[in-house]
Amino acid sequence: MKKIGVLTGGADCPGMNSVLRAVVRKAVSEGYVVTGIKNGWTGLAQNDMRVLDLQIVSGILDRGGTILGTSRIIPPLKDSMNQQIADNFKRSGMDALIAVGGEDTLKIALELYEKFDLPIIGVPKSADNSLTGTDYAFGFDTAVNIATQCIDRLHTTAESHHRIIVIEVMGRYTGWIALEAGIAGGADIILVPEYPVNIDLVCDSLRARHKRGKTFSIIVIAEGAVIEGHSNQQEHEENIRNHRVSRVGEMVADLIESKTGFETRVSVLGHIQRGGAPTSFDRIISTRFGFYAIELIKQDKYGFMVAIHKNKLNAFPIKDAVSKHKAIEPDIYEIAKVFAA
Ligand code: F6P
């Protein structure tokens, strides 16, 4: 019999509850008990926990957010908090801990694993899909689908008014949401952090479209996108690191309107991309991730993040998962470029 702790940390997103349900269902089938830690790492520091049983996780597969609550903590943690977490974990009698989270949550998990030898397994949550080592993190597919629906809606109004609409999506350091939602929504221009652009070239593309009779355009821009000569790189990176809104969409819209004279509007999709029910894809990978996390605990295999590659689950070192962001590669970006202008 094992006692397993589970927490959800960082930005919430649809699929967290699906993971919790899967963890509990699979753990119970193995004869294990599960303790849910409230509000991410904060809950472990404050000893705020509750038992999770089959009844508590019943009916939450399709529920957005997290029944455990979450908190945002930017790593590294203060030594005193690290120590507090390690002490509380050891006192709790737990044999293993599942940390469901993205880059920040997993960086803390890594520190606790390396410095205090805590037996931790990570589950990749990232609406931004920025974690290295896994083809997908849960939350991303839902964000892309929500953003695509919004682009579809903005398309019809842009066309009717002969306007340019700049749609700013989330993504922090990476442009995956912008790229995939942009392609799915038929965006005319997609701007991502991985490939800084010159605003004059963007304006040339828009003018060329107008000349062809397309008097409206849809630009999808990732919040972390960089505009050559206009982004204050240092301030921009600082904002992104601290999860502060960058307002890059507004800046681009102002530049376009003043340079081209085309009427331009901005729509910042924001947290709507992380709300509501997970897509079926996210429900499925969340369920598989939760199930597999317990499999790894059965094997006493720690310091790994559950990952999916070519539709097969595997254990990927947390250390490598958080070492760099999974950036958009040139071959995928080429697809987006073909549709510009
Ligand atoms: O990392 C997920 C994410 O949604 C980013 O895309 C965004 O920059 C950030 O979280 C927003 O953070 P918060 O919910 O703290 O405003």
pLDDT in tens, 208-228: 999 999 999 999 999 999 999
Q: Among the atoms of ligand 1, which is closest to the Cα of residue 274?
A: 4
What pLDDT band is residue 245 in, cutting at 50, 70 and 90? low
Q: Are the C-beta atoms of residues 85 and 44 closer than 8 Å to each other?
A: yes
Decide: 275 in ligand 1 pocket, CB within 6 A: no
Specify the residue with its C-alpha closest to ligand 1, atom 11: 243
Considering the domain boundaries, does residue 316 fall inside one?
yes
- What is the value of pTM for the model shown? 0.96
Residue 241 has a pLDDT of: 72
Decide: 120 in ligand 1 pocket, CB within 6 A: no
Regarding whether 105 and 33 lie in a shared domain, the answer is yes
Regarding whether 212 and 262 lie in a shared domain, the answer is yes
90-99 CB burial, b ≥16 within 10 A, e <16: eebebebbbb
Regarding whether 102 and 147 lie in a shared domain, the answer is no
Measured CA to CA in angstroms, residue 166 lies from 109, 178, 254 at distances of 37, 11, 10
Average pLDDT score over residue span 132-159? 98
Regarding whether 134 and 260 lie in a shared domain, the answer is no
- Tokens (6 digits) for 207: 């003018």
Regarding whether 244 and 271 lie in a shared domain, the answer is yes
Average pLDDT score over residue span 69-78? 93
Regarding whether 304 and 249 lie in a shared domain, the answer is no
Average pLDDT score over residue span 240-261? 87
Q: Which of 39, 223, 243, 244 to mutate to test the pocket of ligand 1 (most atoms within 8 A of CB)?
A: 243
Average pLDDT score over residue span 153-174? 97
pLDDT at 78 over 70: yes
> Residue 267 pairs with which residues in a beta bridge?
167
The number of folded domains in the chain is 2
- Give the total residue count for the chain: 341
Average pLDDT score over residue span 302-325? 98
What pLDDT band is residue 240 in, cutting at 50, 70 and 90? confident
Instruction: State the chain's maximal CA–CA distance in angstroms.
Output: 70
- Tokens (6 digits) for 287: 């369920």
pLDDT at 244 over 70: no
Decide: 274 in ligand 1 pocket, CB within 6 A: yes
Regarding whether 292 and 271 lie in a shared domain, the answer is no
Question: How far does the centroid of ligand 1 lie from the alpha carbon of residue 136, in Å?
Answer: 17
Regarding whether 42 and 108 lie in a shared domain, the answer is yes
pLDDT at 237 over 80: no
Considering the domain boundaries, does residue 257 fall inside one?
yes
Decide: 127 in ligand 1 pocket, CB within 6 A: yes
Decide: 170 in ligand 1 pocket, CB within 6 A: yes
Considering the domain boundaries, does residue 245 fall inside one?
yes
Q: What is the pLDDT of residues 89-128, one digit of tens each?
A: 999 999 999 999 999 999 999 999 999 999 999 999 999 9
Q: Which of 170, 173, 242, 244 to mutate to test the pocket of ligand 1 (most atoms within 8 A of CB)?
A: 170
Q: Among the atoms of ligand 1, which is closest to the Cα of residue 130?
A: 1
158-189 CB burial, b ≥16 within 10 A, e <16: beeeebbbbbbbbbbbbbbbbbbbbbbbebbb
Considering the domain boundaries, does residue 331 fall inside one?
no
Regarding whether 165 and 37 lie in a shared domain, the answer is no
Regarding whether 188 and 129 lie in a shared domain, the answer is no
Query: Any idea which residues carry the catalytic annotation?
Result: 128
Considering the domain boundaries, does residue 126 fall inside one?
yes
Question: How far does the centroid of ligand 1 lie from the alpha carbon of residue 165, in Å?
Answer: 22
Decide: 125 in ligand 1 pocket, CB within 6 A: no
Regarding whether 125 and 191 lie in a shared domain, the answer is no
Q: Among the atoms of ligand 1, which is closest to the Cα of residue 170?
A: 6
Percent of the chain with pLDDT over 90: 91
Decide: 14 in ligand 1 pocket, CB within 6 A: no
Distance CA 45, CA 185 (A): 43
Specify the residue with its C-alpha closest to ligand 1, atom 14: 11
Residue 202 has a pLDDT of: 96
Distance CA 162, CA 12 (A): 37
What pLDDT band is residue 179 in, cutting at 50, 70 and 90? very high
Considering the domain boundaries, does residue 327 fall inside one?
no
Distance CA 189, CA 4 (A): 47
Residue 341 has a pLDDT of: 54
Residue 223 is part of a domain; what is its CATH number? 3.40.50.460
Considering the domain boundaries, does residue 328 fall inside one?
no
Decide: 325 in ligand 1 pocket, CB within 6 A: no
Regarding whether 195 and 99 lie in a shared domain, the answer is no
> Which domain does 71 fall in, by range?
3-139+278-321
Average pLDDT score over residue span 139-146? 98
